[in-house]
């Protein structure tokens, strides 16, 4: 099973990615997550100014199959949400690491990134999860 990752990102066990850019970061769901959900039909994202702790649910992604919470990989204050997803949620299926980012946020504690997985670790995690009968 080939897992698509982006080498500039770190990953969570709940299938979110984060790209840290100085004191801000961008996050979304992984290519593997969008494949599992299939056709994305709606994305609910927080308002700028909202703050979330690491691992806290901040939004919802809905597909024809299911609705899933999205969890912030590291804590922060939302600076911007991707307004393009309001009209074109299907971007999540075609460009999960580029055009379909969910939120840009100010990082509150950069050391939280140490608990996240590298692309290689995430690929291994997904393969182990599949072998156990998970997603």
Is residue 1 one of the residues assigned to a domain? no
In-domain check, residue 122: no
Higher-pLDDT residue of 133, 60: 60
Q: pLDDT class for 2, splitting at 50, 70, 90?
A: confident
Residue 133 lies in a domain: no
DSSP state of 113: G
- Cβ partners under 8 Å of residue 60, min gap 6: 42, 43, 44, 67, 68, 69, 70
CA–CA–CA angle 118, 127, 115 (5° rounding): 30
Residues 43-57 pLDDT 10s = 999 999 999 999 999
Would 26 be classed as within a structural domain? yes
Is the pTM above the cut of 0.85?
yes
Q: Is the pLDDT of residue 7 over 90?
A: yes
Q: How many structural domains is the chain composed of?
A: 1
**Does residue 131 sit within a domain?**
no
Look at residue 128 and tell me if it is in a domain: no
- Please report, for the domain that includes residue 32, its CATH number: 2.40.50.100
Domain that holds residue 55: 10-109
Cα gap 44→120, rounded to integer Å: 29
Q: Is residue 30 part of a domain?
A: yes
**Residue 118 belongs to some domain of the structure:** no
């Amino acid at each position: 099973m080939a897992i698509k990752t982006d080498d500039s990102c770190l990953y969570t066990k709940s299938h979110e990615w984060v790209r840290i850019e100085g004191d801000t970061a961008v996050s979304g769901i992984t290519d593997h997550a969008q494949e599992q959900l299939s056709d994305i039909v709606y994305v609910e994202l927080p308002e700028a100014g909202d703050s979330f702790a690491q691992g806290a649910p901040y939004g919802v992604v809905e597909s024809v199959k299911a609705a899933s919470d999205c969890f912030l990989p590291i804590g922060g204050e939302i600076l911007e949400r991707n307004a393009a997803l309001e009209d074109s949620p299907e971007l999540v299926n075609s460009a999960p690491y580029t055009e379909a980012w969910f939120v840009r946020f100010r990082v509150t504690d950069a050391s939280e990134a140490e608990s996240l997985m590298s692309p290689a670790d995430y690929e291994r995690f997904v393969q182990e999860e599949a072998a156990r009968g998970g997603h």
